[in-house]
Chain A
């Protein structure tokens, strides 16, 4: 299995809703990432998990809450979002550690619309 699977593919939520994005990989990768991508812009890093521990938080607002239940799963919990949070949310994974771990693998993303 050489894929990163993200669910759902599309999500529409109100500003008072609570929802979660899910990401799963079975490549034995030990680093997982959340990126946010607005239209016609590059992906922006949000969070990095390394060996199931949060290692980097790029000053993301607390209405986004990441969780890594185990080495294969990564969640992003959403609460009280704003319309400007509408974007494509991409999950990625890599081998992790200090080894030359080239080849980050990206999921196909969740298209989020906040209304």
Chain B
């Protein structure tokens, strides 16, 4: 089976930097995604890592260490609109094909 863990909640200040961690255990690892989801809305794609290292995309960066089963999402220059749930998702290859499994999600609250 798979085990994907994230902190349940985090609070940060507008303008600050926040790091959301994700640890995973899976077989057939085939990439790690980060999604943002506002309440009642669909998840929206933020970033993707399949090789070790850092991927930067504007205010968002994501890091992956496959040997440690670890990823983080870094959000810089936080804005109030960044208050949302952040989902780490692992793609794994099984006999039936690729599947994307979500972690527990981290609810981020950005305060003034």
A and B associate? yes
Contact across chains for B102 and A42 when beta carbons are under 8 A apart: yes
A42 B87 Cβ-Cβ under 8 A: yes
- Docked Cα-Cα span, A45 to B102, in Å, equals 8
- Across the interface, B31 reaches (CB within 8 A) one of A42, A44, A92, A100, namely A100
What is the bound-complex CA distance between A39 and B107, given in angstroms? Answer: 13
Q: Provide the main secondary structure of the chain B interface.
A: strand
Q: How far is the CB of B61 from chain A (nearest CB, A)?
A: 16
Known A-B contacts A41-B105, A42-B104, A43-B102; A106 and B44 likewise in contact (beta carbons under 8 Å): yes
Inter-chain contact B41/A42, CB cutoff 8 Å:
no
Q: A43-B43, A102-B48, A103-B48 are in contact. Are A48 and B96 (CB under 8 A)?
A: yes
Which residues of chain A from 82 to 107 have a CB within 8 Å of any chain B CB? 88, 90, 92, 94, 100-107
Question: In the bound complex, do residue A55 and residue B42 qualify as a contact, i.e. CB atoms below 8 Å apart?
Answer: no
Bound-state Cα–Cα, A88 to B41, Å: 9
The contact size tier of chain A is 20 to 34
Q: Is the interface of A mostly helix, strand, loop or mixed?
A: strand
A90 touching B99 by the CB < 8 A rule? no
- For B42, give the chain A residue with the smallest CB separation: A106
What total of chain B residues lie within 8 Å of the partner, measured CB to CB?
A: 23
Establish whether residues A45 and B97, one from each chain, have CB atoms under 8 Å apart when the complex forms: no
> In the complex, are the beta carbons of A103 and B45 less than 8 A apart?
yes
Residue of B nearest to A44 (CB): B102
B72 interfacial by beta-carbon distance below 8 Å: no
Please report the C-alpha to C-alpha distance between residue A48 and residue B108 in the assembled complex, in whole angstroms. 30
B residues 59-112 near A (Cβ < 8 Å) are 87, 94, 96-105, 107
Chain A residues whose CB sits within 8 angstroms of the CB of B18 once the complex forms: none
B positions within 8 Å CB-CB of A: 31, 33, 40-45, 48, 50, 87, 94, 96-105, 107
A-B contact pairs, 8 of them (CB 8 A): A40-B107, A42-B102, A43-B87, A48-B97, A56-B94, A103-B48, A107-B42, A111-B40
